[in-house]
Structure 1
Amino acid sequence: MKKITTLIVLAALCLNFPLYAQFYGGVIKPVKTGETVPDLSFPLLSNNIVKSARLSDYRGKLVILDFWATWCAPCVMMIPKMDSLQKQFAGKVVFIPVSSQPQATVTTFMKKLNQQKGKHYDFPEATGDTTLVQMFPHSFLPHYVWIDQEGVVRSFTEFQDVNAANISKFLESRVPEMKQKIDAKPMAYIDSIPFLMNGNGGDGSDLLYHSVLTPYKPGLGLGILQTPEKDGGFRILGRNMNPLQLMAIAGGDKGRLYYMDLDEIKLDVADTAKINSNAIGQEYDEWLANGHGYCYELKVPASMKRHVFEIMRAEIQKFFPDYTVSFVPREKPCMVLESTGDHARMKPKGGTPATAMDRFGATLTNRPLRFLVAAANMKQVTKLPWVDRTGYKEPVTLTIRNGFDNLDKLNKELAVYGLTLKPGTQTVNEMHVSDKKEAASTQTTPSR
């Protein structure tokens, strides 16, 4: 039996997070490869001083624009690498990170990152950008624009192409040898209304039940949405998912609705390339578009809400009849959040319900502890997933300031609120996918 070797859902999401707010054909004409960059002025933050800058200020050097965001994991991963490359090619290469996020957001994030890494990453930063994003429209982050010493755009690439070997070749010949990043124009899409409804017979606001399956949709991005509906029902949406991802979503159980970990999925199929791919970025998009990507939505009324995953599992089995999906319960290591005593310090004092978490800490305002656990698992702040066994269901307010790398420090903070986090185990449903055999029985309902 083969064990899957890629994180089938979350790994792709940050890499290909769609930027639906980008401009196409706005007041500034997009610049293509081979064209000279217009010498427009834009605000630049350098050494904590905001000043006006132009790309011509860097003529004579290779300029690499890095379009990024603080929530994009591959973008953050590239910060130390870009710092190293800029030092290696000092005087020849300059990286300019470009973010549409406000200056305060980027500055606060970089300060925390510097403290965590024990280093100071100092790039000329374009924050709150509305100019460069019109020059270089794109659908996915991170996005890199290579501009030669004369101000001519030579290449658009993904993060894996930003390396010393490619920079050295570029400085020698100015001829990019990297594969060009191609972005599909973002498709109009709003999460809050039913997928594919166009007003025919109504706006879809009174839908009780529907199920939709389409092939890959360029420009729609990759994503998972699982949400209660205003009418008491429930909706599951997977945008541009591969077959294995759809199977995993359908196999979700309490506390792990969005994904299944690597060691919870085992494959026994002759051709794994039909249902999953190890490719990343543009190559992965091309694989999806070549008959391996699907968009799926299921909406059920309140009376069927408790059966929503059972319904999805039955539909996925019909969509992919060549495979048998079964679930086998087993014990798995986890981090257990438990109650240790008095919870008076975490009782809310009012305020708008909110959850904020990153690698540096977390703030939970007027929400139950399950929101903290869900955020920890989505952000993967620890190597093992969290499980809530406090039994405390009331809304709380708490703050974690010292990150999650040191369990002793974390527990000192949690102790103030009558909580502790410690290693434990949980029962999970391991998903087995195999080629369908005529005599084999099919088990499609996970053990509870």
Structure 2
Amino acid sequence: MRKIFRTALFIVLVFSCALLRAQTIKPLKIGDKVPDVYFAKMLNYSKPDGQLSDFKGKAIIIDLWFKECVPCVSSMKHLDSLQNEFANDLQVLPVTWQPKTDIEKFWKTNFDVSGLQLSLAVEDTIVRKLFPASSFPHQIWIDRSGTVAAITDGKNASRENIKKLIGGKAIGLVEKKDEMDASVRYALNPDITIRYEQNKNKVLFYSYFSTFRDELTGMSSSQVDTINKKVRIIANNLTLVNLYDFAYTNNSGETHHYPTRIIRRDHNPVESGLGVKFDSTRLFCYDLIYKGTSTRGFCKYMIADLDRSFKVKSHEELRNIPCYVISANGKGVTFRKPIVEDGSKQVKNVSMKKDVVLIANKQWPWWLERNLNQYEKELILFEMGKEKQINFEVKWNLDNLKQMNKELGKYDLKIQKTKRKRKVIILEDA
């Protein structure tokens, strides 16, 4: 009798899932009831599959993520701690559309998630349709009655907000609303458009400059239309430093280190935008179209537009900049040996918090250099010659190079404070 019941239940679940897929799935909003979503594949769970009703009576936080998303992965330890603290009243459920085999390996080998016991739903096809998003992590907060209480990013999962969710109180979080139209999000058309498609072959020159636009993604890119012989440069929702750096490097791929990239001698009140905290008043949008077949030379137009808009005069100089250089120490090559042999390319403590262990596994030196310099106030350079891979483990503290060199020496590496010639951008009053 029990076997017949299980078979019948399985048929009902499969039928319900198939019916849900067959219907046009409409996105849910705050205040809507969430259907009993079935997850065909689960990890770290008491059974291979599951459904939301398994957690009936608890508040639920669905965390949409993917393994290449750095903020998604770095927040898992915090979510795991919340799950442990509020285990009786809360279920944190990370959900990804990525293959089960990929996530299983990732969960075993990644520095940030290895050992965490969070239950996961993988190969999802439903949740992303119910709660569409273009930026991640994307969190759906569901109260004990099964109603959507909040839709947010990963920055609001505090103990105070969790207690409100569990207690059925108003959370008061601003709803995360992603722009799902890619043509708008990535500015596939010019920012100001009047019958552009019918008239783009007539455009000889066009440039546009504005303050922050919420519907656009912060990004820069260059495009060449070889048929109509048009070049387009896009730089949306970037800071003053980002804009000038993009213009002067001509998209060269050189390592960016914004604290040492620009010197302000001007009196324009617009801040450079080096703060970590998001501030839309420091962000600007720029769009450029001109006749040509190459992106070479776009900088002369962009620099002139920026100087005119910010009322400054800019130029570039070569200067000796203080920096820290990591390089090979002698002829040893221990740094070629991975920390985790079966792990993927990864970094722990990419933000280089002081006195926290920084681990690089199977990393390209150039990639590591570019990413670390997004966080460190001091310029960090890797001078590894033609080496394509670097692996090391060191407690990061630039105030204690002796200890760092002792640890790096195990990998035939060293770090030294020195100076290197770098191009800097000077801004002066026009």
2:220 is aligned with 1:224: yes
Distance in 1 (alpha carbons) for counterparts of 2:325 and 2:223:
25
Distance in 1 (alpha carbons) for counterparts of 2:148 and 2:321:
54
Distance in 1 (alpha carbons) for counterparts of 2:207 and 2:185:
16
Deviation digits for residues 5-46 of structure 1 (CA, Å, limit 9, x no counterpart): xxxxxxxxxxxxxxxxxxxxx931111111100112123423
Contact kept, 8 Å, 1:62 with 1:171, in 2: the verdict is yes
2:20 is aligned with 1:28: no
Deviation digits for residues 30-67 of structure 1 (CA, Å, limit 9, x no counterpart): 11111100112123423277722221211211101112
Matched with 2:171 is 176
Deviation digits for residues 59-87 of structure 1 (CA, Å, limit 9, x no counterpart): 21110111223333322332221122222
Deviation digits for residues 321-354 of structure 1 (CA, Å, limit 9, x no counterpart): 2x344556342213244696699x99xxxxxxxx
1:331 corresponds to which of 303, 321, 327: 321
Deviation digits for residues 214-273 of structure 1 (CA, Å, limit 9, x no counterpart): 545554412233689999x99754233244421232243897646333344455646346
Question: How far did residue 153 of structure 1 move?
Answer: 0.3
1:319 corresponds to which of 302, 309, 316: 309
Contact kept, 8 Å, 1:338 with 1:390, in 2: the verdict is yes
2:82 corresponds to which of 69, 85, 108: 85
Matched with 1:131 is 126
Contact kept, 8 Å, 2:28 with 2:130, in 1: the verdict is yes
Percentage identity across paired residues of the two chains? 19
Question: How far did residue 149 of structure 1 move?
Answer: 0.7
Q: How does 1:40-79 map to 2 (within 5 A)?
A: 40-47=37-44, 51-79=48-76
Matched with 1:376 is 368
Distance in 1 (alpha carbons) for counterparts of 2:38 and 2:178:
25
Matched with 1:426 is 420
Aligned with 2:98: secondary structure?
coil
Question: What is the aligned-residue RMSD (CA, Å)?
Answer: 4.6
Contact kept, 8 Å, 1:211 with 1:299, in 2: the verdict is yes
Q: How many residues align?
A: 372
Residues 141/391 of structure 1: CA separation in 2 closer, same or farther (3 Å cut): closer
Residues 388/102 of structure 1: CA separation in 2 closer, same or farther (3 Å cut): same
2:69 is aligned with 1:94: no
Distance in 2 (alpha carbons) for counterparts of 1:43 and 1:317:
56
Q: How does 1:226-375 map to 2 (within 5 A)?
A: 237-252=234-249, 257=254, 259-265=256-262, 267=264, 269=267, 271-272=269-270, 276=273, 280=277, 284=279, 287=281, 292-297=283-288, 305=296, 307-321=297-311, 323-325=312-314, 327=316, 329-337=319-327, 358-359=347-348, 361=360, 363=362, 372-375=364-367
1:109 corresponds to which of 94, 103, 106: 106
Matched with 1:22 is none
2:153 corresponds to which of 148, 153, 158: 158
Distance in 1 (alpha carbons) for counterparts of 2:131 and 2:426:
44
Matched with 1:9 is none
TM (norm. structure 1) is 0.66
Q: Which amino acid aligns with 1:102?
A: P
Residues 85/341 of structure 1: CA separation in 2 closer, same or farther (3 Å cut): closer
Residues 99/112 of structure 1: CA separation in 2 closer, same or farther (3 Å cut): same
Contact kept, 8 Å, 1:213 with 1:295, in 2: the verdict is yes
Compare 195-204 and 139-148 and name the one that shifted more: 195-204
Distance in 1 (alpha carbons) for counterparts of 2:58 and 2:129:
23
Residues 390/187 of structure 1: CA separation in 2 closer, same or farther (3 Å cut): closer
Contact kept, 8 Å, 1:61 with 1:92, in 2: the verdict is yes
Distance in 1 (alpha carbons) for counterparts of 2:232 and 2:361:
28
Question: How far did residue 119 of structure 1 move?
Answer: 6.4
Contact kept, 8 Å, 2:58 with 2:91, in 1: the verdict is yes
Larger Rg: 2
Matched with 1:187 is 182
Matched with 2:140 is 145
Distance in 2 (alpha carbons) for counterparts of 1:93 and 1:163:
13
Segments of 5+ residues of structure 1 without an aligned counterpart are: 1-25, 347-354, 365-371, 437-441, 443-448
Segments of 5+ residues of structure 2 without an aligned counterpart are: 1-22, 337-343, 349-358, 396-403
Matched with 2:7 is none
Distance in 1 (alpha carbons) for counterparts of 2:284 and 2:187:
22
Contact kept, 8 Å, 1:139 with 1:219, in 2: the verdict is no
Q: Which amino acid aligns with 1:320?
A: F
Distance in 2 (alpha carbons) for counterparts of 1:229 and 1:404:
47
